[in-house]
Structure 1
Amino acid sequence: MSSPRAATASDADAFQSRRAVAVVVGVVFVDLLGFGVIIPVLPFYVRSFGVSDVFIGLLAASYSLAQFGAAPVLGRISDERGRRPVLVLSVGVAGVAWLVFGFASQVGAAAGTTAGLVVLFGARLLAGAAGGNIAAAQAYIADVTPLERRAGALGLVGAAFGLGFVFGPAVGGLLADETVVTAVRSALPAFVPVTRFSLPSFAAAGFSFVALVAAVVVLEEPPRTRSSAGRTSFVAQFRAALADATLRPLVVAFFLTSLSFAGVTVMFVPFVADVFGYGATEAALFLAYIGALGVLNQGVLVGALARRYGARWVVRAGVVSLCAALLVLAASPLAGTDPLLAAGPAWVTGGLAALLAFGALASFGNGAITVGLAALVSESAGAETQGSAFGVTQGAGSLGRTVGPPLAAAAYVFVYWSPFVAGALLLVPVVALLRTRA
C-alpha cells in the first residue's frame, strides 16, 4: 500500500505532466493557427502573379523542403540544448516569415514579378524551417508522458493541428473577403498595404507572435536525460535511421504517406475552385469542417483506438480510410452539381455529399496515420534520442511533401484526378511495411 506522501508526490507529478502537455499543445495550436490562415488564399495569391499553377506546387514544396532540412537539426538540437529554446526561437522566426510573406505583392508591383516571387518563396522557406519545430514539440510530449499514455498525448498535438485547421482557414477565408478587407483598409493608415492576400498573412504573423509570448512566459524545460553523444550530421542521422531495422519502415512510411497526401493538401483548393466553383471563403469553410473532424479524431478517437488495439493497427486503419478518401475525391465530379433531393435546398448537391464523405474519411485516415506513426517512433527510440528520432521521421515526411506538390500540380494540369488516384496507390506499400514488428 502506498503512503499518503507517495500518493501526493505522484499526483503532483501527474499534474505537472498534464500542465506541460497543455502548454505545448497550446503553443502548437496558436502556431498552426497562423499557418492555417494562409491555406485558403495561397493558390489565389500565386495566381495573382500571373504564373502557371505549377508554381502553387513549387511554393508548397519550398515550405516542406525547408522543413525537411530543419526538422532533424532542430530535433537534435532539442536533445542537446533543450526543447524550450527550439520552440521559442522557431515560433518567433515563423512570425517574421509570415509578415514578410504579406509584402510579396507590393514588392512585385514595385520591382517586378520576379522580385515578388523571390520574396514569396523566401518567406515560405523561412516559415518551413520554423515549422521543423514539430519534432521538438513531439519530443517534449514524449519526455513528460508515460509510455502507456503517450499515443493519447501525441494525439493532442494532432488535435492542435486539427484546431488550427478549423479556425485558421475559417479566419483566412473571412479576412480574404472583400468587405472585411475594405473595412480594415479604411481603419488602418494608408501606408499599411491591406489586400485580400496581405491581411491573412499579417494575421498569421500575429498568431505566431502570440505563440512566441506564450512560449516565453509559461513554457518550462522538461526534466529528462540529455544526449551525451557527439554531434552527427544531417545525412548521418538518416543513414542511422535507415540502418535501424525498427526505425527504417517508419521512416519509409512517413515518406510515402506524406507523398500520398501532398496531392490533396496542395491541389484541393484549386480543385474545388475549378470543378465546383468554390472561392477562398467556401474552401476555407470546408477545410474548417475537415479540421473539426480532425480534432475529434486525433484528440479522442485515435488515442482510444491505440490504447485498445495498438498503434500499428491504428496506422493500418488510417491507411485504408485515407486511400478510400482519395478515390472518393477523384470521383466526386461524377456526383454532379445538381440538387441531391428534389425537395431539399439547392446547394445540397451530389458533389457536396461526395466532398463531405471525402472529408470524413480523410480526417480520420490522416489523423490515425499521423498519431499512430508518431507513437511507434516514440516506442522505438531511447529516452536520450526522442528528438532526433522524431526529427528524422518528420524530415522524411517533409521530403515527401517536398517531392509531392510539384508532381501533384503538374499531374493536375494534365489530368485533374490523377494526383488523388496516384496518392491512393502510394499508400498500399505502407500496410506491408507495418505488417510485422521488426
Structure 2
Amino acid sequence: MRKPSVGIIFLTVFIDLIGFGLVIPLLPIYAKNFNATGWQIALVMAAYSFMQFVFAPFLGRLSDRIGRRPVLLTSTAGAAVSYLIFAYASMQQGGTALILLIASRAFAGVCGANITVAQAYIADITPPENRSKRMGLIGMAFGLGFIFGPILAAVARTYFGDSGPGWAAFALCAINFFLALTILPESWKPSSEHVAPRPHLAQWMHTLSRPKVGLLIGIFFLATFCFTCFESTLGLLILSKFSLKFDSAKGIRTVSYLFIYAGLVGALVQGGATGRLVKALGEPKLIALSLFLVAISLGPLPFAQNWTQVLILLALLSIGSSLTRPPVFGMISNFSSAQEQGVTIGVAQSAGSLARIIGPLFALPLFTYQQSYPYLICGAISLLTGILAWQRLSRDHAPAVAAEPQKAGS
C-alpha cells in the first residue's frame, strides 16, 4: 500500500466529482432555458452515463496495455475541455446552446470513465486483503465530490453568472491535471503477456461468463439501478409529501439539504467503517447486509409521516448503499488477474452506467402512476439480491487469481 499514491488518486476522484456535481443540478434548468423538449432534457441527462457505459471498458483495457498514468492524464485534460464547452454553451441561446450542452456532457462522460482507471490504480498498489477498504476511500471521494459540487455551483453562479459553474469546474480539472502530471507515479508496468483486446460486446460476454465476477457485476448493476430509482424520484417525493413547490427557494433548498445529508452519511461510512466491517464480516456478508439495509429503508420511505422518519430512513439507506460498492469492487479486483484489472473494473463500471440510464426511465413514469411503486419494487429487488449475495458469494470465497500489488512508479 503506497499512501501518497492513494491520497493523490483520492484527490483526483474528489476533484473530478466536484466538477461533476457542479453542473448536474443545473442541467435541467439550463436545458429548459434553451427551450428543450422533455426528451431533449432526458438526452442531456443521459449523455454522460451513456458515454461512460460505452467507454469505461475501453479506458480500462487501454490502461492495462499502456499504463494507468497516461490514461488518467489524458482523461483529466479532456474533462477540463468538456467544462469549457459547458461554460461556452451556457452563454449561448436556443438550438446551438442545446447542441453544445449535449456535446459537453457526452465528452465529459467519455473522460469521466476514468473512475475505472482510478480503481485499477488502487488495485495495483494495494494488497488483496485491503482492496475493499481502499475502494471505500474511492467511494468516499465520490460522495464528498457530490456534496461540495452543488455548493460550489451555487457560489460560482452567484458571482459569475450562468457560465460560472462551467469555469469553476474547468479550473478544478486544470488543477487536477497539474497535480497528477507533477506528482502521480505510474502504478502498472504493462508486461509482454497482456491479454489481447476484445471487441466491446465480446469483452462484456467474456467478463460476465466468469461465474464470481459475473455475479458481482450483476449485483452491482441491481444495486445501482435501485439507488438511481431512489435518487431520481426523491426530490419529487419530498415536494409532494410535504407540500413544497419545485420553483420555490424553500423547496429547492430542502431537497438539496437532503441530498447533502445522505451524501455526507454515505461518505463518512465509506471512509471510516468499510475496512473494519470487511475484517469483521468478510466481503460476501457485508454485501448482503448492505443490501438488506437498503431494502428495509427503501420500501418504507414513501410512507414516512414526518421529517424524523425521513431522516432515519435516509441515513439507513445511505449507510446500506455506501457499503455495497467497496466490497463488490474489492472482490471483483481479487478475482481478476493483474493483466485484466482495468478492463474488468471497466465492464463493472459500464454496468453501473447502464443502470443509471435505465433507472430513471423505469422509476419516473412509475412514480407518476403511483409514488410508492418504485420504492416498493426496488426494496424487493434489494432484498432478493441480498439473499442471492448471502447464498452465492459465501461459497468458495477464495479468489481464483489474486493480483499482487505493484510498486507505484516501478
TM-score (norm 1): 0.81
Query: Could you tell me how far apart the structure 1 residues matched to 2:377 and 2:338 are?
Result: 38
Tell me, what secondary structure is at the counterpart of 2:323?
helix
Q: Does structure 1 retain, via aligned residues, the 8 Å contact 2:13–2:138? A: yes
Query: Could you tell me how far apart the structure 2 residues matched to 1:409 and 1:209 are?
Result: 36
1:255 aligns with 2:221: yes
Query: Could you tell me how far apart the structure 2 residues matched to 1:248 and 1:381 are?
Result: 11
Q: Does structure 2 retain, via aligned residues, the 8 Å contact 1:67–1:398? A: yes
C-alpha distance after superposition, 1:234-269 (max 9, x if no partner): 111111112111211112112211211122333334
Residue 43 of structure 1: how far off its partner (Å): 3.6
Q: Does structure 1 retain, via aligned residues, the 8 Å contact 2:121–2:188? A: no
For residue 122 of structure 2, the aligned residue among 138, 141, 166 is: 141
Q: Does structure 1 retain, via aligned residues, the 8 Å contact 2:59–2:71? A: yes
Q: Which residue of 2 aligns with 1:150?
A: 131
More moved, 272-281 vs 164-173: 272-281
Query: Could you tell me how far apart the structure 1 residues matched to 2:12 and 2:145 are?
Result: 11
C-alpha distance after superposition, 1:142-165 (max 9, x if no partner): 110111211111111111112212
Residue 72 of structure 1: how far off its partner (Å): 0.4
1:241 aligns with 2:211: no
Tell me, what secondary structure is at the counterpart of 2:109?
helix
Residues 280 and 175 (structure 1), Cα distance of their counterparts in 2 relative to 1, 3 Å cut: farther
More moved, 293-302 vs 56-65: 56-65
After superposition, residues 79-98 of structure 1 pair within 5 angstroms as: 79-98=64-83
Q: Does structure 2 retain, via aligned residues, the 8 Å contact 1:79–1:384? A: yes
Tell me, what secondary structure is at the counterpart of 1:228?
coil
Q: Which residue of 1 aligns with 2:327?
A: 372
Query: Could you tell me how far apart the structure 1 residues matched to 2:368 and 2:166 are?
Result: 27
Q: Which residue of 1 aligns with 2:383?
A: 428
Residue 365 of structure 1: how far off its partner (Å): 1.4
Q: Which residue of 1 aligns with 2:247?
A: none
Residue 174 of structure 1: how far off its partner (Å): 4.0
Query: Could you tell me how far apart the structure 1 residues matched to 2:310 and 2:26 are?
Result: 20
Residue 273 of structure 1: how far off its partner (Å): 4.4
For residue 322 of structure 1, the aligned residue among 273, 282, 294 is: 294
Listed as ranges, the gaps of 5+ residues in structure 1 are: 1-13, 186-193, 336-349
Query: Could you tell me how far apart the structure 2 residues matched to 1:46 and 1:272 are?
Result: 23
Residue 50 of structure 1: how far off its partner (Å): 4.8
Q: Does structure 1 retain, via aligned residues, the 8 Å contact 2:295–2:382? A: yes
1:311 aligns with 2:283: yes
Q: Does structure 1 retain, via aligned residues, the 8 Å contact 2:67–2:190? A: no
Largest Rg, 1 or 2: 1
More moved, 251-260 vs 134-143: 251-260
Q: Which residue of 2 aligns with 1:222?
A: 187
Q: Which residue of 1 aligns with 2:145?
A: 164
TM-score (norm 2): 0.87
Residues 99 and 286 (structure 1), Cα distance of their counterparts in 2 relative to 1, 3 Å cut: farther
Q: Which residue of 2 aligns with 1:203?
A: 168
For residue 359 of structure 1, the aligned residue among 314, 320, 328 is: 314
Residue 329 of structure 1: how far off its partner (Å): 3.1
Q: Which residue of 1 aligns with 2:273?
A: 301
Residue 79 of structure 1: how far off its partner (Å): 0.5
1:71 aligns with 2:56: yes
Residues 259 and 54 (structure 1), Cα distance of their counterparts in 2 relative to 1, 3 Å cut: farther
C-alpha distance after superposition, 1:295-348 (max 9, x if no partner): 21101112210121111111111111222332243224xx2xxxxxxxxxxxxx
C-alpha distance after superposition, 1:172-200 (max 9, x if no partner): 34445xxxx2xx24xxxxxxxx22xx322
After superposition, residues 398-417 of structure 1 pair within 5 angstroms as: 398-417=353-372
Listed as ranges, the gaps of 5+ residues in structure 2 are: 245-249, 397-410
Q: Does structure 2 retain, via aligned residues, the 8 Å contact 1:135–1:394? A: yes
Residues 90 and 44 (structure 1), Cα distance of their counterparts in 2 relative to 1, 3 Å cut: same
Query: Could you tell me how far apart the structure 1 residues matched to 2:217 and 2:124 are?
Result: 21
Residues 105 and 416 (structure 1), Cα distance of their counterparts in 2 relative to 1, 3 Å cut: farther
Residues 284 and 42 (structure 1), Cα distance of their counterparts in 2 relative to 1, 3 Å cut: farther
Q: Does structure 2 retain, via aligned residues, the 8 Å contact 1:61–1:404? A: no
Residues 136 and 167 (structure 1), Cα distance of their counterparts in 2 relative to 1, 3 Å cut: same
Query: Could you tell me how far apart the structure 1 residues matched to 2:235 and 2:155 are?
Result: 16
More moved, 255-264 vs 377-386: 255-264
Residue type of the alignment partner of 1:67: Q
Q: Does structure 2 retain, via aligned residues, the 8 Å contact 1:170–1:281? A: no
Residue 126 of structure 1: how far off its partner (Å): 1.2
Query: Could you tell me how far apart the structure 1 residues matched to 2:234 and 2:40 are?
Result: 15
Q: Does structure 1 retain, via aligned residues, the 8 Å contact 2:65–2:190? A: no
Residues 326 and 45 (structure 1), Cα distance of their counterparts in 2 relative to 1, 3 Å cut: farther
Q: Which residue of 1 aligns with 2:400?
A: none
Query: Could you tell me how far apart the structure 2 residues matched to 1:256 and 1:399 are?
Result: 10
C-alpha distance after superposition, 1:331-384 (max 9, x if no partner): 24xx2xxxxxxxxxxxxxx2x323322331222111111112111101111112
Residues 116 and 423 (structure 1), Cα distance of their counterparts in 2 relative to 1, 3 Å cut: farther
Cα RMSD (Å): 2.3
